[in-house]
Structure formats: C-alpha cells, structure tokens
C-alpha cells in the first residue's frame, strides 16, 4: 500500500481524495487537517494559511501514518509564497520525514511531464490572488495566455459550487490553441468532470486535487497510471 498524506485546509472538497483512491487498488490518501477556520481568498489570509508554524506541526503529526510522501494540498496557500514555494515544500518534508511537495509545484510538474507550454487559467480567486499563480507558472516556462478569475470569496464558497457551475466556470471563454486548461483550487469538486471536460474542450484539463494526487504518487514511487482521470494519468 502506498500512502500519500494530504495536508488539507478546511474540508470543502476533501472527499475528492476518496474518489481518487477508488481509481487505484493500492493507494491511500489520508487527510490531515491543517486549518479549521475560513479559507478566505485574499493574500494575507493565504500567507497565514501556508505559514511554516501552521504547516510544520501537522506535517510532523503525519509521521504516525508512515507516509511514502506528503502533499500540501492547497494551491493558493502555496503559490502566494512566490519564489519561496519550493522552500515551503521543504518545511513539510523536514517536519514529516518524507518526500513532500505542494499543489502549486504539482501543477508545474504536470505541465512539464505533458510538455504543456501555453495554458488558460480557470481560477476561482480574485485577480490579485491569481496573479501570484501566473507569476509562478511564468517562472516555470509555462505561459498563461488567458487568466480568468471568478472572484469566489473563499474555499468554502468554492466547495458549494455544483457540477453545472464548475463546468460553466471552466468552459467559459474557452478558445482553441492552448495546451491545457488549469483549474487551481483544491476546494473545488472537479475530479469526476475531468474526462468529459477534456472531450468537450479537446485539450488537457489539469485540476488541483488531481495533480496533487498525481505528484504525491510519483514522489512515492508509484506510476500514477490509471483510467478515468484524464490524460495526465495515462502518460507514463
């Protein structure tokens, strides 16, 4: 059994990891909650959410699970650290004693793995928050050709969006010519939509919880290959 511990703020879409587990026969994604308050989509709040003194005790607590890898399962709470995003993953690894990464770094790794260079962003966040993700991607040689920001106030609000609303947000304004659409909120329910979205948009769709699971599995030495989760999970 491969165990990838997910450090997860709040509880808005944590059930996505149970859905992801069912796609494999030998994988566990236990949730370690890191934050019980509101997960507001503003830069100051997100910096607090992902601070070392918040993450490290929970990463240390994850040791009891004997994890093969640990993921900081939050996009905005990682990309707001900008150039320090890899340093943040290092805090988690040091505290947990296991290889570690974050959702932001998982998006970068997935884009590199698939050869993705030009993307469209379908973000729940306000524009000033999304801008930090765009900057991280640009530094990683991923060009954001369109960044749609939908001004969802918090992770809790994102988690309450129904599949029809999520699909509409992701498909809004889509044009051909990008390598992938990136959907960067782990509070958003997307896993069950990936296959149909890729068929409808005729492009790769990378969503936050899916790339987090993929990156964690690969850090743990698992192939992360399976059906039903889009092209990322079919590319060896």
Among 16, 28, 6, smallest CA distance to 187 is for 16
Cα angle 80-112-149, degrees, rounded to a multiple of 5 = 40
Q: What is the model's pLDDT at position 229?
A: 98
Q: How far is CA 88 from CA 23, 47, 84, 151, in A?
A: 29, 11, 6, 26
Quote the CA–CA distance of 94 and 92 in Å, as a whole number. 6
- pLDDT of 3 strictly over 90: yes
Can you tell me the distance from the alpha carbon of 57 to that of 77, in angstroms, rounded to the nearest whole number?
16
Question: What span, in angstroms and rounded, lies between the C-alpha atoms of 157 and 18?
Answer: 21
Residue 30: what pLDDT?
A: 98
Asked if pLDDT for residue 207 goes beyond 90, the answer is yes
- Mean pLDDT for 188-192 is 97
- For range 69-92, the mean pLDDT: 98
Summarize the confidence of residues 142-155 as an average pLDDT. 92
Cα–Cα separations (whole angstroms), residue 230 to 60, 77, 211, 213, 236: 33, 25, 11, 13, 13
Does this model's pTM top 0.95?
yes
Q: What is the structure's pLDDT at 168?
A: 95
The residues near 50 (Cβ < 8 Å, ≥ 6 apart) are 72, 74, 77, 78, 80, 81, 88
Q: What is the mean pLDDT of residues 102-116?
A: 98
User: Model confidence at 37, in pLDDT bands (50, 70, 90)?
Assistant: confident
In the chain, the percentage of residues whose pLDDT exceeds 90 is 94
Band of pLDDT at residue 19, cut at 50, 70 and 90: very high
């Amino acid at each position: 059994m491969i165990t990838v511990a997910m450090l997860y703020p709040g509880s808005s879409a944590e059930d996505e990891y149970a859905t992801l587990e069912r796609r494999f026969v030998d994988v566990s994604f236990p949730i370690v909650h890191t934050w019980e308050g509101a997960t507001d989509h503003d830069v100051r709040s997100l910096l607090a959410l992902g601070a070392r003194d918040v993450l490290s005790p929970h990463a240390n607590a994850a040791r009891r699970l004997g994890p093969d890898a640990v993921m900081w399962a939050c996009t905005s709470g990682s990309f707001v650290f900008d150039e320090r995003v890899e340093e943040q993953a290092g805090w988690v690894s040091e505290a947990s004693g296991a290889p570690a990464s974050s959702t932001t770094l998982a998006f970068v790794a997935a884009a590199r793995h698939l050869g993705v260079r030009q993307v469209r962003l379908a973000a729940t966040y306000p524009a000033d928050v999304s801008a930090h993700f765009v900057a991280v991607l640009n530094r990683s040689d991923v060009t954001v050709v369109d960044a749609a920001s939908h001004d969802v106030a918090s992770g809790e609000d994102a988690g309450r969006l129904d599949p029809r609303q999520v699909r509409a947000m992701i498909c809004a304004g889509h044009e051909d010519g990008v390598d992938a659409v990136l959907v960067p909120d782990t509070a958003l329910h997307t896993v069950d939509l990936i296959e149909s979205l890729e068929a409808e948009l005729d492009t790769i769709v990378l969503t936050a919880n899916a790339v987090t699971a993929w990156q964690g599995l690969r850090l743990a030495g698992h192939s992360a290959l399976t059906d039903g989760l889009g092209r990322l999970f079919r590319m060896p």
